[in-house]
């Protein structure tokens, strides 16, 4: 049975973190993304599972929140310095953004347009497999859209 731990359960594991990002509400509960800054010692009833592996097991709303959390944490990790002048960035107080105290450059989480297609012939569907997939995992044809590239 899949169970996503709530904040109190995570804190009982002794997890240390530096900041949190509000993702919104799911079923009237606030949902946050945190990046742990300490080793996690899991109890027997918990297991760390990658987003890629857990995706098929989650309801759509949870999967979308997990994907958003992943993107926000990656953005936070990769925007510690200003892309214009190289100064260390600071958290913007009034919105989810980073600001450079030197040149006032504001950086927001990046939105990466993507496309996914189903190639169908009769009752068959074309699936892709790459070396990074675990076991016998396959997927639809998908990828990110490059700047200036048409979705087609």
Sequence spans of domains, the chain: 1-78, 81-109, 112-152
What pLDDT digit, counting tens, does each position of 34-64 carry? 888 777 777 777 777 888 888 888 888 888 8
Reading the block at residue 100, the tokens are 């450079």
Full-model pTM: 0.69
Helices (H), the chain: 7-12, 51-54, 60-78
| 20 and 7 Cβ atoms separated by less than 8 Å | no
Q: 51: which DSSP letter?
A: H
What pLDDT digit, counting tens, does each position of 121-134 carry? 999 999 998 888 88
CA distance 54 to 48: 10
CA distance 83 to 104: 11
């Amino acid at each position: 049975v899949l169970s996503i731990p709530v904040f109190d359960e995570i804190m009982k594991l002794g997890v240390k973190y530096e900041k949190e990002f509000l993702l919104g509400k799911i079923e009237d509960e606030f949902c946050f993304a945190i990046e742990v800054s300490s080793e996690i010692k899991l109890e027997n009833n918990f297991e760390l599972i990658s987003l890629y592996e857990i995706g098929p097991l989650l309801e759509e709303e949870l999967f979308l929140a997990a994907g958003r959390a992943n993107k926000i944490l990656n953005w936070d990790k990769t925007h510690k310095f200003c892309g214009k002048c190289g100064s260390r960035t600071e958290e913007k107080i009034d919105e989810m953004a980073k600001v450079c105290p030197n040149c006032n450059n504001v950086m927001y989480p990046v939105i990466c347009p993507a496309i996914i297609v189903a190639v169908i012939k009769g009752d068959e569907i074309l699936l892709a497999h790459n070396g990074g997939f675990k076991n016998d995992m396959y997927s639809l044809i998908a990828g990110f859209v490059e700047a200036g590239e048409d979705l087609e």
